[in-house]
Amino acid sequence: MSYGFRIKQSWRRIDAEAVNAFRDLPVANVSDAMQRLPGFGAEFRPMHRSGVLAGPALTVRTRPGDNLMLHKAIDMAEPGDVIVVDAGGDLTNSLMGELMLAHAIRRGVAGFVLGGAIRDAEAFLERNLPVYALGITHRGPYRTGPGEIGFPIRIGAALVSPGDLVLGDFDGVLSVPPGEASAVLAATRAKNAAEEKQMATTEAGTLDRSWVDKALRDAGCTYLD
């Protein structure tokens, strides 16, 4: 096995029940439940039109501007996988365009998180598969490698292992390790329920805002005429 040019063919994926349990929860609430520490970074922006991303990570590391291993990852993906690519954050060359996107949809890929750029941007809006990337460029990629599939990668601010739960909506993208999923799910549901209750009191005009003045007093704020 040659480091830097290798493919792992199997790993344990987070189960479908957990994926579905998180699917309808806001990513912001998942982030709050994880103490606001996870997240791939604000620079990862949605390239699709609407919808959410949820599924187990299929991890790829490649040199900037090269998509040989990304092609292979699409070919070996299981339906529902989210392909997460560490390409060094370089935007000089795109990692994929409309043709690869169409092939991925045909394969049942749930979406992508790309530490690089895309091209054929309008096609990503039209086909509407959840895709997050760092930017857009017309320059095409190379296909020579090296790269790796199925190993832990660093993408943005996060360490992602194959099989981790990847979640994304229009606030951004993050990952949840399978071993933490149950506790994070319970905390996220509690946070979501609290926000729904607050929204109801806000719309009813009965929201208690006394905490604002209390916080200002406790901080020593001075009121001036």
Positive or negative CA dihedral for 125, 131, 133, 138? negative
Binding-site residues for Mg(2+), in ranges, read 120
Q: Which helix (H) or strand (E) holds 95?
A: strand 94-96
Binding-site residues for substrate, in ranges, read 97-100, 119
Binding-site residues, in ranges, read 97-100, 119-120
Say how far apart CA 220 and CA 204 lie, in whole Å: 32
Q: In Å, how far from its chain's centre is CA 112?
A: 8
Put the strands of the sheet holding 135-136 in their side by side order: 94-96, 117-118, 135-136
Phi and psi torsions of 10, nearest 5°: -150, 150
